[in-house]
Every structure is written in C-alpha cells, then in structure tokens.
Structure 1
Amino acid sequence: MSILQFTAPPLPHYITCGFFFMQPGQKHLNRRNIGVFDLLVVTSGCLYMMEDDRKYEVAAGQALILRPDQHHYSYESCRTETGCFWLHFQTGGKWGTTQNAAAVPQTDPNGINAFTVQTFTILLPQFIQLSQPALVYEKLNQLVALEQNAHNNWARWKHQLIFQQILELLNASLDLHTVLPAVNVADQAAAYLRMHYKEDITVKTLGEALNFHPVYIARCMQKELGCSPVEYLMRYRIEQAKLLLLQTDLPIALIGENVGFHLTSYFSSCFTKIEGLSPRAYRRRFQSML
C-alpha cells in the first residue's frame, strides 16, 4: 500500500473542492504535474485512474489521492454514471511516500518538551476503502456548500477546520489496515503513563491496566518509542515539573509531589540528571531572564 507521509507543522492546507457527475463514456482529465494534491472520493459508479504506471479502480466508498508531481489520467471510460468529490490541497512542509506505516519513526521520547514545538508525521493512504464513507461525504458536502463564501475569511478558516477532519477520517481508514500490535500497545502504554503520571506506577500495575505482560509492554515501547516505560514516565514527570517551576511559586518539594515523586532528594536528583541543573537553579535561570 502506498502511503503519503507529511511532516507537520505546517499542516497540509485546503485549496478548493467540488463535485462532478460523469456519464458512461466520459473520462477524467489528463493532467501532468499539476502542482497540488488531488483527492478523489467516489460516491457512485467507478473511476478508472492511472498515475504514471499504477492503475486504480476507484469505486463508491473509496478514495484516491493523486500526487502533484506525476501524470494522471483515466485509462478507461466510466461504464456507469459516476459521482465523485474532488479536493485540491497542498503542504508547505516536507512530504514523501512509504509502503509501510510501521516503518515511519514515532515521536522521539527525548522530545517530550513542554517548551519546544515538536514535528510529527501525518500518514494518509493514497488509495483506500473508507471506514466511514457517509461521514466523509458529509464533510465534503459542507466544504462544497462553503465555496460560495470562499471570499470571506470566516469561510476560509472553516474550510481548513473541516479539511483537517477529513484528513483524520482518511488516517483512521489507514489505521484499520496498518496498525500493528506493537504500535498499538506502545501507544496505549504512553497514554496510560501520561494520564496517571502523578500516581504510583510500577511495571506490574501498567501490565495489569493494559492486560499485557510487562516485558511485552517494555519491548513494544523500546521498539516504537526508543525507551522503556520507566524512562518514558520519568521524562514526562520532569516536563510537568518544569511547567510548574516556571508557572507557579510552589515550593520545590510540593512540585515534586505533584508530579509523582515522594522524596524531594530523589526528585532533585532525577531532574538534575535529565536537565543538567537542579530544579531550583532551573527556576532561577528563567526568573533572571524576566
């Protein structure tokens, strides 16, 4: 499966959209290097599309994203009346393709930083059976209805918001086909640790919460996130402590307790090991800059 991967920010952005009906015997336009991504979502009938040397039969409930840098055209006329939404979008960031979603690197665990914008990867299937076609049709209809007001800022903003929802639905369709057990377990573990970081968490309680053996959870997190559950939890606690150090006047000991450390000395030791300076010195460094 060909998968488009976009590095964000910036997010892919909406340009324009519409809907067309093709009668039997009609074909999609023959175009080369149009410079924008072209999302086709078929509601009835079938489109017979070619992109360079790859053939796609896009039937009702399916979606195809044509690339901006390749030649695409219909290799066969429509056999029945065919309805299709089209949507042009583009990105100002990096993008590429992969055949394996599991091979795309996950977020760097060392990048759990409350004060740094972290990039992430958006994965979209180039050709997919939609998991919720009716909902995608509804969102596309909303976009088409807004086109008459596209000269207004409020409409352009709403276009972008609805477009992001469509991207989420495309990604969700991809997840049904590609998410591997290890990826899912690592994601569940990370979410649980973030939600319960103030509590006493052990590998045993984590295993019981997710209903997986702790060794398997650790293996999945190491593979997908590059760290153990203990390391992930520690870094997340320290990031939450950094926020409290800068945004409150709470005592160091109380901040440590609020993020899951029972001993102030252990909190200070862990903080210093990760940040290179003590919690008190960290707070003073930024206070002196005000």
Structure 2
Amino acid sequence: MTILHFTVPPLPEYIISGITEAPEGAKHPNRRNIGVFDLLVVCKGCLYVTENGRAFDIDAGSFLILRPDTHHFPTQGCTVDTLYYWLHFQTSGGWSSEGYNTSSKKEELSELQPFSPNYFTVKVPQYGNLRQPQKAFDLLDSLAALVQNGHKVQSLWQQQVLFQELFEQLTAAMDPPISSPHSICAEQAAAYLRTHYRENFRAQALGESINFHPVYIARCMQKEFGCSPVEYLLHYRIEKAKLLLLQTDHTISWVAEDVGFNHAAYFTSCFSKQEGMSPRKYRQQFS
C-alpha cells in the first residue's frame, strides 16, 4: 500500500470539488503534473485510472488520491454508468510518498515545543476503501453545494471545516476495523434510515427490514453512533434540508416536507436546536 505522509501544521487546504456522471465508455482525463492533489471518490460504478505505471480500479465506496507531480491517464473507459466525486486540494506544508519528500521540515518531534508549532505526520493511504462511505458522500455533497457561494466568507470557512472532516475519513481507511455484530447491525439500520428518510419512522418496519429486533437496533446504534435511530434520522433529515436551503429557493415549508417533516414549525425547532439558528437565517448567511 502506498502511503502519503502530510506534515502538519498547516493542514491540507481545500480548493474545489464537484460530482461527475460518467456514462459507459467515458474516461478520466489524461493529465501530467497538475500541481494539486486530485481526490477521486466513486459512489456508483467503477473508474479506471493509471498513475506511475500502476493501474487502479476505483469502485463504489473506494477512493484514489492522484499526486500533483505525476502523470495519470485512463486505463480504460467505464464499463458501466459511473458516478464519482472529484476534489482538488493542496498543502503548504511538506508531504512525502515512498521516500520522495518535498519538505525539509521535521516531521516528528520527541518533545513538545511551547513557543513553536509542533509538527507531526498524518498518514493517508493513496488508495483504499472508505470506512463510512455514506458519511464521506454526504460531506462531498455539502462541499459541492457550498461551491456556488464560494465568494462568501462563511461559505469559504465552512468548506475548509468540511474538508478537514473528510480528510479524517481518509485517514481512517488506514486500518479498517473488523466489523463486530453490533456495528454491522448499526450500519444496516443507518443505511435503511438514509434510504427511507422521507417516510414516517416506524421501529417495527426498520426491524423487519434488516432482521433485527428494534430494541437491539437501538442499542447498537447508540453504541456505534452515540444516538438512537430517531435521533440519527432527525440529524440526517436536517443535513438534507441544509443542502436544499443552499441549492434551491424553495420555501421553508417545502423543504421541511421534502425531507420528511410533517410540520414546518417542528422542522424549524429541530433545525434551530441542531444548527443554533433558524433555517431562514442559515440560508441568509450564504446569500
């Protein structure tokens, strides 16, 4: 496994991102020495890319970081319709890969320095499987939504914050844990809730769908996510609402109904509790 080593501080910096729908036969661009890191995350299908003579098959739930100083090109066209995210980032600090070091900064310190930055190394696999694919997809969706408001200070700040959270998702792919029974149950329940978030929640329907007792599901989700199924669903609905508030001009009532709330007033109350501001104020800060 090729590992990229990033010396921090400073933290890697987000530049821009987007999502591409690649039909069957489409190919990733042929590029040489692009000067920035190019993160590719596949949501559906498979992308075929070669870098430095090594071919990568990036299928659903996996990612590849293309280096800024190499030549990458399509190994072949997509064999099925493929949906993938792309994200460009850079670092003002040092980074290395397989012995190639772009910085003379010290990467590790034996003791803390009280009056100077304490540099350390963050290790990220260049290619791997996401531990929590849906969480990464949600972060990438949020980043893409913020791009249209990139000239606003609040938006620019939020982009960097979301990118750092995404970067943590990449570092977590270093050592994927062995799935325990409770984590499997929790992930299956979360996947069901994300798919059916517009519907009224019924614990019995959730249990029947994934073949676990609702009480056991609640216990597993509390252990894995720190919340109950209802709390997870509420949080997910509000995250979806935030995207709609950014991407559309629909009314608050329309947004509330679209993400599964029966009453706009309850939606506003839940949104304000989670985000610390009303949906209207959240939208206004980006306009």
**TM-score normalised to the size of structure 2?**
0.57
What's the offset of the Cα at 1:73?
1.2
* 1:238-277 matches, cutoff 5 A: none
Q: Give the Cα separation in 1 of the matches to 2:93 and 2:154.
A: 24
Which residue of structure 1 aligns with residue 229 of structure 2? none
SS where residue 176 of structure 1 aligns?
coil
1:1-290 map, 5 Å: 1-98=1-98, 107-109=108-110, 111-176=111-176
Q: Deviations over 1:200-257 (max 9, x none)?
A: xxxxxxxxxxxxxxxxxxxxxxxxxxxxxxxxxxxxxxxxxxxxxxxxxxxxxxxxxx
- CA gap 1:176/1:31 in 2 versus in 1, 3 angstroms: same
Q: Distance in 2 between matches of 1:165 and 1:118?
A: 21
CA offset digits 1:80-134 (Å, max 9, x no partner):
00000000000111111149xxxxx98434x234433210111111000111101
Instruction: Tell me if structure 1 keeps the 8 A contact 2:107–2:119.
Output: no
Counterpart amino acid of residue 17 in structure 1: S
Structure with higher Rg: it is 1
Instruction: State the identity as a percent.
Output: 45
SS class of match (2:141): helix
The one-letter code sitting in structure 1 at the alignment partner of 2:5 is Q
CA distance in 1, matches of 2:113, 2:72: 43
Question: In structure 2, the residue corresponding to 1:171 is in which secondary structure?
Answer: helix
For these two proteins, the number of residue pairs brought into alignment is 171
Instruction: Report the Cα distance in structure 2 between the residues aligned to 1:131 and 1:125, rounded to whole angstroms.
Output: 12
CA-CA distance at 1:9 after TM superposition: 1.1
Tell me the distance in 1 between the aligned counterparts of 2:176 and 2:134: 17
Q: Is the 8 A contact 1:32 1:71 kept in 2?
A: yes
Find the aligned partners of 1:139 and 1:167 in 2 and give their Cα distance. 10
Task: State how far apart, in whole Å, the 1-side matches of 2:114 and 2:82 are.
Answer: 49
- TM-superposition CA deviations, 1:65-91 (whole Å, max 9, x none): 000111111111100000000000001
Q: Secondary structure at the match of 2:176?
A: helix
Q: What is the Cα-based RMSD across aligned positions, in Å?
A: 1.7
Q: Is the 8 Å Cα contact of residues 9 and 120 (structure 2) preserved in structure 1?
A: yes
Structure 1 unaligned regions, length at least 5: 100-104, 178-290
Q: Which runs of 5+ in 2 are unaligned?
A: 100-105, 178-287
Q: Would the aligned equivalents of 1:5 and 1:98 in 2 still touch at CA under 8 Å?
A: no
Give the structure with the higher percent helix.
1
